[in-house]
Amino acid sequence: MSAHGPALELAGITKRFGDTTAVEGVDLRVNFGAVHVLLGENGAGKTTLLRIAAGLLPPDEGRVVIPLTSSAAAAQPSTAGATRISLVHQHFSAVPALTVAENVALGRGGLLSRFNPGAIADELAALHRETGLVLPPPNTRVADLEVAEQQRVEIAKALLKRPGILMLDEPTSTLSPDAGRDLYRWLGEYAAGGHAVVVVTHRISDALAFGTDVTVLRHGRVALRAPRSATNERELLDAMFGAELEFAPDPASADAAAEGTDGRPVVIALRGAGYRDDRGVEHVANATLDIRAGEIVGVAGIDRSGHSALLRLAAGRIRPTSGSVVRGSTVAFVPEDRLRDALIGELSLEENFLLRGSAERRGWVSSAEGRAKTAAAMSAYAVRATDTLVPAAELSGGNQQRFVLSRELADQPRALVAEHPTRGLDARSGGFVRQALRSMRERGGAVLLYSADIDELLAMADRIVVCHRGRVIAVSRDRAAIARAMAGTA
């Protein structure tokens, strides 16, 4: 096999999840000796394509051809190991309480196999000599490692499977800039040794600095494919984010942006707010932001940029570990994943409605009153269901989202935090949700809106901030400025 021949070819790959098409008709070719960078904004289909290539998801249409094997074969979960592909997931899978050696053994499976720490230590030492990958001592607990060291442990687990193709999903998302550069340098050396590397990222700067070839996905389709030497930042930005508005701009937003909002009362105020999780990972740092009555503040940011923690700080779902967040009243919250974070699918709509504000309520709940309030809210938001006793899981995605909005806005709160509320909705349901947010602004409510779609933010928001590596950056309502801030090239 040529050191620079094809290692992996995807032909006409399409994958659907219900009514949502994640990737459509995608062709991809990865060569030995190359670091192939897969770029795209949130929801572009990058991770889905990677999982299909690695055999973790079957495609609905198309073929995965792996010349490493004796014959072309469609990758399936049962044969992924035989194709010598290893995937390093975005979220670490190591068990923090176990040592490096124990995690390596666990990653191999085989619960009845004997654990031999000495043999694993020898393997890791050999891997270091062979690849140059610097690893922590095998007897170190993973919980005691820095994030960059944990990432290298994940890579070591993948490399010990002796793959010809190494795939990594957002490998630098939790690393410092220096650690990220070190990782990419190593990946380049690994590829130059006759292997193939595929990296999913959202960072244009990384693609241009370290990639060999670049493929850009937008809305599940290939928007650009080129050698790194044949493209530039402007082309990649246009391919990732598009050049034309897909939503008609809201005249009220333009007027509000022109007039300013200094005279309106502040409903939510963040003052140097920061948040570190239990592992010590910083998600938001020194964020200062006012959300005022009668405006929609838009939030843009790619995965793990800190926007999720920022929204939860503003909504009071998490507490700041530094600085402060002041809210004038209870804040309604619409999370991105409605079935995971907003609804209990097995419970009825009436029971889900009564969950609103349940942490602050005590005493008995009147079933008749709850049923009446649920029915009234559903009617106001045109939620289609036979009655209030229907399980939430039986509703379509659009009706679930309408229901969540109807519940959160039932008492006309002064503030709403909405996390990509149109995600996965069809045009009609998405339009209904956008109009509900505009109506709240018109009656003097304050809205903090995150969307993965820049077009939607430009159409909806009076002001826009971008989250990048935990920092909150105010930007103009301009596509190029937003895209550059999101990509870290502002």
Spatial distance between the Cα atoms of 448 and 79, rounded to a whole number of angstroms: 46
Q: How confident is the model at residue 76 (pLDDT cuts 50, 70, 90)?
A: very low
Q: How confident is the model at residue 77 (pLDDT cuts 50, 70, 90)?
A: very low
219: left (phi over 0), alpha (psi -120 to 50) or beta: left
Q: How confident is the model at residue 21 (pLDDT cuts 50, 70, 90)?
A: confident
Tens digit of pLDDT for each residue in 372-417? Answer: 988 998 888 888 888 899 888 888 777 888 899 889 888 888 999 9
The pLDDT value given to residue 58 = 93
Helix (H, G, I), strand (E, B) or coil at 396: coil
Q: Is the pLDDT assigned to residue 446 strictly greater than 90?
A: yes
Spatial distance between the Cα atoms of 140 and 285, rounded to a whole number of angstroms: 29
Among candidates 335, 230, 339, 321, which has minimal Cα distance to 281?
A: 321
Sign of CA dihedral 113, 116, 121, 127: negative
Higher per-residue pLDDT: 114 or 190: 190
Q: Which whole number is the average pLDDT over 465-483?
A: 91
Strands laid side by side in the 35-39 sheet: 85-88, 165-169, 196-201, 35-39, 213-218, 221-227
- Read off the tokens for 297: 């503040």
Spatial distance between the Cα atoms of 270 and 147, rounded to a whole number of angstroms: 28
The pLDDT value given to residue 231 = 94
Higher per-residue pLDDT: 174 or 27: 27
pTM of the model: 0.56
Among candidates 136, 170, 139, 167, which has minimal Cα distance to 152?
A: 136
357: left (phi over 0), alpha (psi -120 to 50) or beta: left
The pLDDT value given to residue 219 = 85
Q: Is the pLDDT assigned to residue 85 strictly greater than 90?
A: no
Q: Which whole number is the average pLDDT over 225-247?
A: 79
The pLDDT value given to residue 260 = 45
The count of C-alpha atoms lying within 13 angstroms of the C-alpha of 377, restricted to the half-sphere facing its C-beta, is 27
* Cβ atoms 431, 252 nearer than 8 A: no
Spatial distance between the Cα atoms of 457 and 125, rounded to a whole number of angstroms: 50
The pLDDT value given to residue 273 = 96
How many other CB atoms are there within 10 angstroms of residue 227's CB atom? 11
- Strand partners of residue 441: none
Spatial distance between the Cα atoms of 452 and 17, rounded to a whole number of angstroms: 19
Q: Give percent above pLDDT 90 in the chain.
A: 36
- Read off the tokens for 479: 């596509």
Q: Is the pLDDT assigned to residue 86 strictly greater than 70?
A: yes
Higher per-residue pLDDT: 155 or 73: 155
Spatial distance between the Cα atoms of 107 and 87, rounded to a whole number of angstroms: 12
Higher per-residue pLDDT: 433 or 473: 473
Backbone angles phi, psi at 103, to 5 degrees: -70, -35
Higher per-residue pLDDT: 474 or 377: 474
Spatial distance between the Cα atoms of 105 and 157, rounded to a whole number of angstroms: 9
Q: How confident is the model at residue 238 (pLDDT cuts 50, 70, 90)?
A: confident
- Mean pLDDT of the chain, nearest integer: 83
Q: Is the pLDDT assigned to residue 83 strictly greater than 80?
A: no
* Cβ atoms 216, 223 nearer than 8 A: yes
- Read off the tokens for 389: 């006793």
Under DSSP, the state recorded for 340 is I
Q: Is the pLDDT assigned to residue 38 strictly greater than 90?
A: yes
The pLDDT value given to residue 49 = 93
Backbone angles phi, psi at 387, to 5 degrees: -165, 180
| HEC per residue, 115-142 | CCHHHHHHHHHHHHHHHCCCCCCCCCEH
- Read off the tokens for 285: 């740092």
Q: Is the pLDDT assigned to residue 148 strictly greater than 80?
A: no
Q: Is the pLDDT assigned to residue 66 strictly greater than 90?
A: no
Q: Is the pLDDT assigned to residue 224 strictly greater than 90?
A: yes
The pLDDT value given to residue 437 = 93
Spatial distance between the Cα atoms of 376 and 210, rounded to a whole number of angstroms: 56
The pLDDT value given to residue 360 = 64
Backbone angles phi, psi at 346, to 5 degrees: -75, -20
The least confident of 22-31, 72-81, 304-313, 355-364 is 72-81
The pLDDT value given to residue 79 = 39
Most confident of 112-121, 133-142, 249-258: 133-142
Q: Is the pLDDT assigned to residue 428 strictly greater than 60?
A: yes
At which residue do the structure tokens 């602050």 appear?
Answer: 360
Among candidates 200, 205, 229, which has minimal Cα distance to 215?
A: 200
* Cβ atoms 190, 27 nearer than 8 A: no
Q: How confident is the model at residue 332 (pLDDT cuts 50, 70, 90)?
A: very high
Q: Is the pLDDT assigned to residue 251 strictly greater than 60?
A: no
E strands in 103-249: 165-169, 196-201, 213-218, 221-227
- Read off the tokens for 152: 């290298």
Tens digit of pLDDT for each residue in 272-320? Answer: 999 998 878 889 999 999 999 999 999 998 767 899 899 999 999 999 9
Strands laid side by side in the 6-17 sheet: 20-31, 6-17, 61-65
The pLDDT value given to residue 11 = 94
Q: What is the DSSP string of 161-172?
A: T--SEEEEESTT
- 367 residue type, one letter: S
The pLDDT value given to residue 15 = 93
The pLDDT value given to residue 259 = 43
Q: Is the pLDDT assigned to residue 204 strictly greater than 90?
A: no
Q: How confident is the model at residue 95 (pLDDT cuts 50, 70, 90)?
A: confident
Q: How confident is the model at residue 61 (pLDDT cuts 50, 70, 90)?
A: very high
